[in-house]
Structure 1
């Protein structure tokens, strides 16, 4: 009897040991699978982080390269006006070294008469009214002389909060263009003054675009106010006396064909009040 009980107990214990071993084996297999999955996920995320960092580094490197090699000025400016970073083109435009210019604020290198447009733009960017800007202003070179520039840029914001951090500006030197425009305007003013003083009017017909412009003296000779005549060339032709149109047409044809050095014709034009006045018209076609 006792021997039978011992045998039964041994059998039960053996079966439980076998069951425990199977459970342990299964647990170990599950643990191995979980560890493998964890390692796989860890490797995936590490690879993703490495790829993201590499892409960010490559993007930053491309930006730095583009900024350094740009033929026009580039500046990164803080919201307090502090110049954070510039490129060689901008420093050279104002005759500063990069170290010198990056120790200044944009207020210090801006012409006093143009400070307000920069301040207004800064306020609008801070308040979120605009995200980009485009305007012209004058900077001051190291020696104090002004230089005209055209600015275009945008604001860099914090990705999470949207808070503005910096301004990135592209700055093009347009000083030569501005000086040329000023010289042309001055010459035109002197020319118009001379013509007005001599009582001579001027009209200009654009052969490519088809529009006609008149000087104030020219329209006044015909009794009109400045701006009262439109640029329709047919209007000009309609004011020529019918008996004189053939003379004008022939003078125009001969000059455009290169047969005469300039256009010249005497003809009558209708005054605003209906009577006819004689005109001596001289001109030259320009390319």
Structure 2
């Protein structure tokens, strides 16, 4: 299957983001069905032993990029695309995921995953960038909605509308981060449940769940705390509408005990199961 074909996913299950600080935890933790690794943190020719062990057990490993800049004005960097492709091949990955984000311009790195201006002109640029990325990758591409603390004043579309039109034009897969939907409801007033009714969930590849904190009325998506119940409620709402191929917990710093992580995976499963009675 080439990277530009429509994404079809087998069941992934419930997973966790692999971090070197959590390698032994993940190796011995029960109930981990797949993992995701930040692509910029690994070298395909010298993969961490922990990832190789997980692959030997049959766990899918998904490279997750954070610096491609698919929402930049310039085309994606061929070297960054080549790295993502090499990661996917070395790990035998079913897909590659990245963010629908603006990260650099004019030689300046933003240092953050910034929201793309949701205009028709921007959409045309992103469509072309996605097609270039799909042509360069050996597996399908999925794009993640990002957390934002501001919106561009010239926005013409909601985040969900922008993603829906992008998917229709390119067939790109969706990685829906329900924590980011919650973030954008708090910070930007974009109703999260309404977004689920607009997003083309038939293109869903997997889901992210993570925690953060609110300060002075702004939600900060830090991936350093337990997911708030409101985020898990959004996961339930998503599961009422579709059965996601996979749901993955993100935890990126201030790492907790093994028991806390295991409890978070259990909370995810409980939130998914709660959708069954409502279908």
- Same topology, TM > 0.5: no
Query: Which range, TM-score by smaller chain?
Result: under 0.3
Q: TM-score, normalised by structure 1?
A: 0.18
Q: TM-score, normalised by structure 2?
A: 0.19
More helix by share: 1
The structure number with the bigger radius of gyration is 1
Query: Which gives a bigger RCO, structure 1 or 2 (Cα 8 Å, sep 6+)?
Result: 2
